[in-house]
Every structure is written in structure tokens, then in C-alpha cells.
């Protein structure tokens, strides 16, 4: 029974890795076109990712946007967690539903609504608009991850510190924050990943000259300008993503974190 | 002798006003989130509803709010045979994706719970969570290499002597469903794993002692107990699948026209926002209605399971 289960699981693992494996093979091609299997192997495309100007700028733009969106998502989300978990008793479920509502609307519907609204208030195709759209994806997610951790806090430690005369600021920084360390790290990292990988929002809301990395890749694939630099950057992203997950799983327990609050 | 030193009360205890200020500050801290949601979630959705009630796309650019309301867009869509064909396509793709994704995810989730805590769990889950950690374009590129005519899979199968000539999987219904299932399987695994985790081993052991076979245990104990997880993951996978437009664009092209594909081309090619808005709202209604129906039906079905399990 367990043997059959293991066999099936490894079959699925193989299928999950298959697209990355063929991408990786093309990334090491020696020719200038995307062909499978590559006629010869070389390191020129993988080594040349950062010398592609458009790609490099797109990577930096995506990184900056994702860091900003993740930090803002935590800043906006964390106070709400305390309020919802501790102050609101009756309206808790309602408040949680309202805050996580953007995640329930299909992406294409949400992005269209944002597009026509941004056109109306004239922030379409600006980085501000793009940042707001990414924040709308990250903030509800950060809220959910952090809210679970706030409700799991040991209140007795806070009462003790209160009795011992700590001010609210000290209590927050020295008693509450250390308990929430893992939740904060995983919320930050997952919010970053959500923003960094988002194609849907960025495709319609970013300006032509200010593409994020996924949009740049999409454009090269779908519109034109395809060369083996796309599989090369894909392979790197896949490796970084895989390593990031493994590190997170061994340190803060990424899988259990995600499966508790998916 | 040690003197007992009387420590002064902290500031926020001595002055009641300070507590009031703290309470107000707590309330203020909720404001950024509320402003964000009100201004950039609720307002855009309402504006889109208003947009869908315009009779003509030329009006979208000018003072749209002042125009009289019209159901023209909905009337045009609801008598259009092509619209129903798209809805049918979307539903078929969504349904097939749910079946494939859940069939793949359930055993994997079960296995991951069995090997909890080990390095094997970490590595297997890393492979299965890959679509969450890598942007969509990366994996879709790989799938295109695999599925296109003269692609990797066809070359492999030809080398084995199983097929002869090009295969046309990429531009088909099944190709699309498989790639959608690939992208949504991590979500299904996560939800199912959370649900399977709650099954107590005693129950399975009790059933085994009473002489139940594996199949019987699975159907009468495991499935009813994980029904909430199955329903939740099916709803999530379904709504992700029928609202995705990148995967249909990159995999199936115009061979399998689904609703988001048409919405997308109304936005980018025809610049017809009122029509796109009307379609988007119908899609939203469809997703919500199906979610509601599915939850109801599943609730009915699992009631028997609940009674048995008490």
C-alpha cells in the first residue's frame, strides 16, 4: 500500500520537474535559437543573463517592487491582525472575510476593474498603480498568515511583562515580536514571492517601458524576441525558488505554514 | 537589610488619557487597510459594474458616470451563441482540471503527511510546490517545449517507436487542462494535507480491527472526514482554472476559447471596456454561483458521513 503510494508520488514529482528539466537543457544550448534537444551545450546563455540590459533592469525593478510590496503588506496587515484577533469579538469573521475578499475575486476580473479605475484616476501604467495592485494581492495574504500567529500568542507572557512594568512599546518589541518571528519571516517571504512572480496584474498595469521580469519574459515568449536567454533566466528562477523553499521548510516549516493557512 | 523600593507605576497606568490615546491609535492602525480595500478594491469593482451598464464603448472614455443606465451589453452577450460556447468551454476546462488536480494531489498529500518531518518530505514538497515559487511563464515555457509538435515528448515517443509524425497536444483541450492542473496542484496538495492531518489514526485502526479492507476504509472513513478539504480545494482549483487567462493564451491559443481569453482580447485588442466589464461580471457571478452550489451539494452529501462518524 505505502509502496504504491510512494511510486505514485514520485511519478508526480517527475511530472512536476519535467518542464524545468527541458527548460534547463535548452538553457545550456550552444546555438542562438530555441530548439530541443540542443545540438550542443555551452554556458554562454546562462552566463549572459545579466549582460542583457532589458532583462537586468527588469530583474531589478521586480526585486524593488516585490520588497516594497512585501514590507508595506506587513505594515498594513499586522495592526489589523491585533485589532481583529483581540478587540473585535463579534465581527471577527466578517472582518476576516472583508480583508481577504480580494483573493476570492478571479484575477482577470480584478485586474480589469483596476485597469479601468486606474485609467479614470490617471495612475494606469505607473509604478504607483502597479505597487497598489501588488499590495492588494500581498496584504490579504500577509494578514492571514500573521492573524493565525497572533491568535496563537501566549497572553500570559504579556500580562507578566505588564505586571513587571513594561510600557506597551517595550512589551511589543521584547515580548510579542520574538514570539512572532517565524510568522513574520514567512509572511514577508511569501508576500515577496507573490509579488515577484505576479504576471496577471503586471501584464495589464505596467507601462511599456517599465516591464517587470515576468512580463518581460511573457512578452518575449508571446510577442517576439525569443532567444535562449529566456530558458536561462527561467532555470535560475526555478533553482532559486527551489532552494528558497527548502531553506524555509527546514527553518520555519514552510510546508506546514502554507498548508495551515492556504 | 534590604529596603523595599516603591516603583512608580508606568506612564500608561498613571494617566488614563494615555490609555485613551493608545486605544485611538489602535483604531487608526486599521485605517490603511480599510482605505486600501475601499479605494482600490470596492470602488474599482463598483466602477466596473457601472462601466458594464454603458451602451457603447465610445462613452467609456468620457464622463461615464453621468450616462443613463443600459443593459445593452448584457442583452448582446446573453443572446450570443458564441458566449454560451465560451462558458461551456470554461466549465469543461475547469471541471477537467479539478478532476486531474485532485486525483494527483490526494495521494501526494497523503504521502507527505506519512513522511512528515523528514528530508524526503522537504524535497518531495519542494518539487510539488514549484509552481508556487516560480512565475507562471517559466513553467509554461517548459510545457510548450514538451507539448508542441516536434517537442520533447513527441521526440521521446518517436524514439521509443510509439508514435509516428507530429503530435498536436499543445493546442488542445487536454493540453490546456493538464497545464492548468499542473499550476493548481500545489494549492490542492496544501489544502488536502491540512485536512488529512486532522484524521486520527485510532479511527483507521479501529476500522481495520473490525475487519474493513483498504477500499472500504478509504470510502467510508477517509473520504467523509476529508470532505471539507476536498470541497475547499475543488472550489479553489476550479476558480483558479476558469479565471486564468495566461495559460489559455500561451498553451491553447484560439483553439480552446475560454471566457478570460475573450475578456482579455476585448480589453487589449478591441478596447471595448463596457463589453469586457459585462463579461467579467458574468464570470464573477458564475464563479460565485458555482462555489455556492458546490458547497451546498457537498454539505448534503457529507451529512450522511457526519452521522455515521458521530
State how far the Cα of B252 lies from the Cα of B265, in Å rounded to an integer. 15
Task: Name the DSSP class of A29.
Answer: B
Task: Assess A101–B contact: CB distance below 8 Å, yes or no.
Answer: yes
Helix axes B173-196, B119-128, angle to 10 degrees: 150
Indicate whether B306 pLDDT > 90.
no
The residue of chain A with its CA nearest to that of B181 is: A16
Position B278 scores a pLDDT of 92
Interface residue of B142, B190, B234 to substitute, partner A, most A CBs within 10 Å = B142
State how far the Cα of B145 lies from the Cα of B227, in Å rounded to an integer. 37
Mean pLDDT score, B197-206: 85
Position B10 scores a pLDDT of 59
Task: Assess B82–A contact: CB distance below 8 Å, yes or no.
Answer: no
| The C-alpha cell that represents B263 in the structure block | 475578456
Backbone angles phi, psi at A41, to 5 degrees: -115, 145
Position A230 scores a pLDDT of 85
Task: Assess A74–B contact: CB distance below 8 Å, yes or no.
Answer: no
Contact A236, A59 (CB under 8 A): no
Residue from B244, B286, B242, B270 nearest B78 by CA: B286
> What percent helix, strand, coil does chain A show, rounded to 5?
75, 0, 20
pLDDT in tens, chain A (262 residues): 678 889 999 999 999 999 998 888 888 887 777 777 777 787 777 777 778 888 888 899 999 999 999 999 999 998 888 888 877 777 788 888 888 888 888 888 999 999 989 988 888 788 888 999 999 999 988 998 888 888 888 888 888 888 888 888 888 888 888 888 888 988 898 899 989 998 888 888 887 778 888 888 888 888 777 788 888 888 899 999 999 889 888 887 777 767 654 3
Task: Assess A238–B contact: CB distance below 8 Å, yes or no.
Answer: yes
Is the Cβ pair A259, B194 closer than 8 Å? yes
Interface residue of A166, A199, A255 to substitute, partner B, most B CBs within 10 Å = A255
Q: Which of A41-50, B3-12, B272-281 reaches the highest mean pLDDT?
A: B272-281
State how far the Cα of A38 lies from the Cα of A3, in Å rounded to an integer. 37
pTM given for the model:
0.86
Task: Assess A217–B contact: CB distance below 8 Å, yes or no.
Answer: yes
Position B302 scores a pLDDT of 63
Across the interface, which of A77, A80, A108 has its CB nearest the CB of B243? A108
The residue of chain B with its CA nearest to that of A10 is: B124
Percent of chain A whose pLDDT exceeds 90: 21
Position B2 scores a pLDDT of 54
Contact B175, B251 (CB under 8 A): yes
**Residue scoring higher pLDDT (B304 or A91):** A91
Residues 13-52 of A with CB under 8 A from B: 13, 15-23, 26, 34, 36-37
Mean pLDDT score, B19-24: 68
Q: What is the pLDDT of residues B99-144, one digit of tens each?
A: 999 999 999 999 988 887 788 888 998 999 899 888 888 888 888 8
Indicate whether B301 pLDDT > 70.
no
Interface residue of A72, A108, A196 to substitute, partner B, most B CBs within 10 Å = A108
Across the interface, which of A5, A105, A167 has its CB nearest the CB of B284? A105
Position A96 scores a pLDDT of 83
Q: How many CB atoms neighbour CB B142 within 10 A?
A: 27
Is the Cβ pair A168, B182 closer than 8 Å? no
- The burial of A162, by beta-carbon neighbours within 10 Å (0-12 exposed, 13-18 middle, 19 or more buried), is given as middle
Is the Cβ pair B243, A242 closer than 8 Å? no
pLDDT range class, residue B96, cuts 50, 70, 90: very high
Position B308 scores a pLDDT of 40
Q: What is the mean pLDDT of chain B?
A: 82
Indicate whether B33 pLDDT > 50.
yes
Position B98 scores a pLDDT of 96
Task: Assess B33–A contact: CB distance below 8 Å, yes or no.
Answer: yes
Interface residue of A189, A208, A262 to substitute, partner B, most B CBs within 10 Å = A262
Q: What is the pLDDT of residues B215-256, one digit of tens each?
A: 888 888 888 888 888 988 998 899 899 888 889 988 887 788
Residue from B180, B178, B188, B215 nearest B110 by CA: B188
pLDDT range class, residue B307, cuts 50, 70, 90: very low
Percent of chain B whose pLDDT exceeds 70: 85
Amino acid at each position: 500500500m505505502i509502496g504504491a503510494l510512494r511510486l505514485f508520488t514520485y511519478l508526480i514529482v517527475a511530472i512536476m520537474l519535467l518542464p524545468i528539466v527541458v527548460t534547463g537543457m535548452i538553457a545550456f544550448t550552444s546555438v542562438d535559437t530555441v530548439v530541443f534537444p540542443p545540438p550542443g551545450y555551452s554556458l554562454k546563455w546562462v552566463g549572459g543573463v545579466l549582460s542583457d540590459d532589458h532583462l537586468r533592469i527588469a530583474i531589478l525593478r521586480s526585486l524593488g517592487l516585490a520588497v516594497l510590496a512585501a514590507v508595506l503588506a506587513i505594515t498594513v496587515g499586522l495592526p489589523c491582525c491585533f485589532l481583529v484577533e483581540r478587540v473585535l469579538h463579534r465581527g471577527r469573521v466578517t472582518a476576516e472575510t472583508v480583508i481577504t475578499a480580494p483573493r476570492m475575486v478571479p484575477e482577470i476580473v480584478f485586474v480589469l476593474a483596476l485597469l479601468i479605475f486606474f485609467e479614470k484616476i490617471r495612475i494606469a501604467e505607473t509604478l504607483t498603480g502597479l505597487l497598489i495592485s501588488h499590495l492588494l494581492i500581498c496584504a490579504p495574504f500577509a494578514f492571514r498568515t500573521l492573524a493565525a500567529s497572533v491568535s496563537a500568542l501566549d497572553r500570559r507572557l504579556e500580562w507578566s511583562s505588564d505586571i513587571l512594568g513594561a510600557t506597551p512599546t517595550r512589551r511589543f518589541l521584547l515580548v510579542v515580536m520574538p514570539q512572532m518571528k517565524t510568522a513574520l519571516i514567512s509572511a514577508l517571504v511569501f508576500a515577496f514571492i507573490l509579488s515577484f512572480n505576479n504576471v496577471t496584474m503586471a501584464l495589464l498595469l505596467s507601462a511599456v517601458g517599465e516591464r517587470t521580469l515576468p512580463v518581460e519574459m511573457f512578452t518575449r515568449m508571446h510577442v517576439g524576441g525569443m532567444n535562449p536567454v529566456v530558458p536561462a533566466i527561467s532555470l535560475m528562477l526555478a533553482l532559486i525558488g527551489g532552494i528558497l523553499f527548502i531553506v524555509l521548510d527546514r527553518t520555519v516549516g514552510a510546508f506546514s505554514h502554507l498548508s495551515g493557512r492556504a | 537589610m534590604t529596603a523595599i523600593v516603591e516603583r512608580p507605576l508606568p506612564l500608561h497606568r498613571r494617566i488614563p488619557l494615555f490609555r485613551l490615546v493608545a486605544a485611538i491609535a489602535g483604531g487608526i492602525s486599521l485605517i490603511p487597510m480599510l482605505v486600501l480595500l475601499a479605494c482600490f478594491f470596492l470602488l474599482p469593482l463598483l466602477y466596473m459594474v457601472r462601466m458594464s451598464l454603458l451602451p457603447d464603448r465610445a462613452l467609456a472614455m468620457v464622463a461615464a458616470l453621468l450616462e443613463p443606465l443600459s443593459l445593452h451589453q448584457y442583452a448582446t452577450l446573453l443572446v450570443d451563441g458564441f458566449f454560451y460556447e465560451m462558458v461551456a468551454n470554461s466549465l469543461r476546462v475547469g471541471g477537467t482540471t479539478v478532476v486531474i488536480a485532485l486525483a494527483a494531489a490526494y495521494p501526494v498529500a497523503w504521502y507527505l503527511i506519512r513522511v512528515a518531518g523528514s528530508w524526503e518530505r522537504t524535497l518531495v514538497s519542494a518539487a510539488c510546490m514549484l509552481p508556487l515559487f516560480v512565475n507562471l511563464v517559466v513553467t509554461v515555457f517548459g510545457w510548450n517545449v514538451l507539448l508542441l509538435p516536434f517537442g520533447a515528448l513527441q521526440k521521446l515517443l518517436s524514439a521509443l517507436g510509439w508514435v509516428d509524425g507530429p503530435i498536436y497536444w499543445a493546442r488542445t483541450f487536454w493540453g490546456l487542462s493538464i497545464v492548468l492542473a499542473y499550476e493548481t496542484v500545489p494549492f490542492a496538495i496544501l489544502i488536502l494535507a491540512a485536512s488529512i492531518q486532522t484524521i486520527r489514526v485510532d479511527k483507521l485502526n479501529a476500522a481495520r480491527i473490525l475487519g474493513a479492507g483498504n477500499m472500504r476504509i478509504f470510502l467510508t472513513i477517509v473520504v467523509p472526514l476529508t470532505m471539507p478539504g476536498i470541497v475547499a480545494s475543488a472550489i479553489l482549483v476550479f476558480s483558479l482554472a476558469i479565471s486564468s487567462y495566461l495559460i489559455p493564451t500561451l498553451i491553447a491559443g484560439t483553439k480552446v476559447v475560454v471566457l478570460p481569453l475573450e475578456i482579455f482580447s476585448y480589453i487589449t485588442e478591441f478596447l471595448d471596456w463596457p463589453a469586457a466589464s459585462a463579461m467579467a461580471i458574468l464570470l464573477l457571478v458564475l464563479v460565485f454561483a458555482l462555489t455556492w452550489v458546490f458547497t451546498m451539494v457537498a454539505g448534503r452529501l457529507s451529512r450522511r458521513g457526519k452521522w455515521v462518524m458521530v
